[in-house]
A and B are shown apart, each in its own frame.
Chain A
Amino acid sequence: MIRRLLGSLLVITVLSIFCTGCWDYREINLMSIVSGAAVDKTPDGKYKLSIEIIDLKGGGKEAPVHSKKLESYGDSVFDAIRNSIKISSQKLYWGHAEIIIISKDVAKEGILPIIDFLSRDAEPRLSIDILISNEDTAEKILDSQSISTEIRTYEINKMLDDQKKLSKSPKVEIYQFINALGDEGISAVLPVVGLTQNSGEATSQLAGTAVFKQDKLQYMFDEDDTKYYLFVMDKIKGGLLVVNKTQNSSNAGNFTLDIDSNKTYVKPVYSKGKLSFEISIKTKTTLGEIDDNKIKFTSQSEIEKLEKQAQTVLKQNVERVIKAVQSGYDIDIFGFGLKVKQDMPELWKKIKPDWDDLFKNVQVKANAEVRIKHAGLLSNPIMMGD
């Protein structure tokens, strides 16, 4: 007993003496916490990383925490990250990085090396968000003015998180991107970030969706189309549905619905050797705003009229977006192929080689069912007595 105890104490002490303070022990205040980074390429083909690090110097009790930008060059992404030691004494710490912004040019050449580094290294998280910049360099995004926090990339991350109230930009974490890359019958998309003017200063904004073929950027579409894309993908958690009366004069006026919940089913149908898809969208909404004062919400038929109008708008837009993607490019961002694979594996084995051609011409029928569950606090529109 005594011998064993002494022996173990000896082992522990000797080990501790030899080992303490080395290996993986690292102090946080001796590291630079990376909040996000932007990847560009210089004309001579080198990677240029603009890394946003959290500046703790003035931080603490009174002042808000600011961020600093570190620019570093290298032949590979990893090389560029390591080269940052040349200009800053502290090692970068990637465990809290939330955002990687990749410039259009880099994305067109393929973002595989970046994805690979981020998922291979143990520090960055698997839930890190990747965005594509639609400015000429990604660095500009980091230079823009931030509004709600002092740290640019955290604000963009928060913007992405809050998309569930807006639904105008996809949120793609790195593991989801890897899944979309790896799965058959679906192409990957990433959110796009760009610049806009706010009170005279450039600030960043989310600006739609970037479409990839494998790891190479093909094209982008804007945020309104993104919303209908998200409808097809069943990723709508909230957001608005704005209905204008322009289509038909017998309709009610302009009104805006707040989406409470949505469920979309995509069903591949194979009949008579012809593949088609049926999309049924079921949305529950709240009336948020209306400019027509003739509608009586106490009457069920009036509400149904609004619902029908919204359904038409939704259906038309979804079909429009799908048509545009089909005709413009042969990239199946909706995962129709994957649906076939999941629901009709035998059919998929047959059509897989020429799915790209098939996708262009496949018939898609959308069906929308919009329900207005609430109408806010007002039972009737505001009256206007002449």
Chain B
Amino acid sequence: MTYPDHQSVEGNINSSLSKNIELFMSIFCDEDTFIVRNIESQYNKSIKCSVLFMEEMVDTSIINDNILRPVLQNDSLKSSGDTIVQLQNMVINAGHIQKSPDINTLTHSILKGNTVLLLEGSSEALIIGSIGVKGRAIEEPEAEKVVRGPREGFTEQIMTNLSLLRKRLETTDLKFRFMTVGVKSRTRICLCYMNSIVNPKILKELEDRINSIKIDSILASGYISDLMKDAPLSPFRTVGSTERPDIVVGKILEGRIAVIVDGTPVALTVPYLFLEYFQANEDYYINFYFSSVSRMLRILGFILTICVPAVYVALMTFHQEMIPTPLLISISAARQGVPFPTIVETFLLLMVFEILIETGTRMPTNIGQALSIVGALVLGQASVEAKIVSAPIVIVVAISGITSLMIPKIQGPALILRVVFLALSAFMGFYGLIFGITGAMLHLCEIRSFGVPYLLYLTSMEPKDLKDTLIRAPLWYMNYRPKLLSQNNKLRQSKGKEKK
């Protein structure tokens, strides 16, 4: 990494304990939680060591029981020979222990919550695992609720998260590969994939992209996804995200790669396809008829949310002949006396709706009722009564709004498409809308996620590719993994005759 880190000190520690302590005191100067504990063995006074750690990062019981006590009370330590190796192998009974001379490594391991043990006369130090950072317990994620299925969600600790994955995939084929990103934050991120299923090209591409990230800190996985995604200007996401380990495992088993970032309960998965917007985890846990229907409803919801206001405006201002006569008369009567043109009215109300949503998102739940009263009654009812807007437009915006909440992830792109379609249809009616849809589809066809076409499976014209797209075929029918993502190890389950 070429990004300069001014605090880093290059080089190795020397064999003088006091000098080393001085060195570390200078590195951690003005740092009140940095503790240096000097100890000597009760039985062999010549063995002097110092234990260095950050108070807030460690589990003190590990330090007391597993480091200090054994060193102090051990009677077999000899000053001759390689004391540091003896300490490492025979004395300290902590799980994670490692030797290193490098100041930089030692510094960072202290920062992580490990304990560094310096020994007089040794030019190497021991890094002893004593991380005791407190975090949240495993809870069900609020944003991705499920009725039938596991309730566990990721937490902020990377190791907890990895354990959630490993316990679901008890195989050596599941690989966790660590990388560090962020010059200041030195955030650990972990690539998780199935070695025999993953497409090596995608893995290579992902590594290259992560390696090329040069930023001071990664506060959440969103940073990573923003910095590495394809089509950065597209409103559509090309990197998936989820809080649920079962989803991640499912994606890993399809050949995707999960990126777990320390400090974020949201795991990223790549490549991400457009269809994944419409796939919910529960689809696979319930009867395939119902999940197919609800998947199609989600797609319908997406189409409705982007098209309904545009269709309404196109109908009302360009293609009046398409409205059934009684409806035309009643809408026309409802619009009598409304001062704004239809298009302005629609824009205004859509904006009000977005404001309501934005207000609701970051608001304490107990004010919610007040908001819904103001939103529904004051804005809806009263503005219609006062003839500021017409009643049909309230219905249209409500349909568009409700359907946009069906898939929370796609709200952003849906908002943009909705507005663009609206503008186009105010300009050329349905033809404008058709041009807009064409453009949106071209865009979706054009973008790729890590080299994989975004609309994979939808555009191959092979019926067998459609079994997990618009519908969710029964599990016994999906015997093969999706193509392209997983190039080897195609068979998912063996059932009946296996064909090539």
Interface residues of A (CB under 8 A from B): 1-2, 5, 12, 15-16, 19-21, 24-29, 31, 33, 54, 56-57, 59-60, 65, 93, 95-96, 98, 123, 125, 154
Contacts and interface: CB of A to CB of B under 8 A. Distances in A.
A40 to B, nearest CB: 25
Contacts, number: 76
B374 interface: no
Interface in B186-238: 231-233
A25 B426 contact: yes
B317 interface: yes
B427 A15 contact: yes
10 contacts: A1-B233, A16-B423, A20-B343, A24-B318, A25-B341, A26-B317, A26-B318, A56-B332, A59-B333, A65-B333
A29 B338 contact: yes
Interface in B107-165: none
A65 B420 CA distance: 36
Contacts of B303: none
B329 A27 contact: no
A296 to B, nearest CB: 50
A28 B331 contact: yes
Interface of B: 231-233, 316-318, 320-321, 325, 328-336, 338, 341-343, 420, 423-424, 426-429
A60 B426 contact: no
A95 B423 contact: no
Q: What are the 7 A-B residue pairs with the smallest beta carbon separation, nearest first?
A: A95-B321, A59-B333, A29-B335, A60-B333, A56-B333, A28-B332, A96-B325
B328 A25 contact: no
Q: Max chain B CB contacts within 10 Å: which of A21, A28, A54, A125?
A: A28
B233 A2 contact: yes
A28 B427 contact: no
Contact of A29 (B233, B325, B332, B426): B332
A98 B328 CA distance: 14
Given A20-B427, A25-B318, A96-B325, A57 B336 contact: yes
Nearest to A157: B325
A137 B114 CA distance: 103
Contacts of A123: 321
B233 A27 contact: no
Contacts of A98: 325
B245 to A, nearest CB: 35
Nearest to A31: B320
B233 A60 contact: no
Contacts of A56: 329, 332-333, 336
Contacts of B342: 27
A56 to B, nearest CB: 5
A154 B329 CA distance: 13
A96 B330 CA distance: 14
Contacts of B321: 95-96, 123, 125
Given A96-B325, A96-B328, A27 B317 contact: yes
B423 A65 contact: no
Nearest to B342: A27
A12 B336 contact: no
B233 A28 contact: no
B431 to A, nearest CB: 10
Nearest to A8: B439
A20 B427 CA distance: 6
Contact of B325 (A16, A31, A154): A154
Nearest to A57: B336
Contacts of B420: 12
A2 B330 CA distance: 46
B280 to A, nearest CB: 31
A33 to B, nearest CB: 7
B320 A95 contact: yes
B427 to A, nearest CB: 6
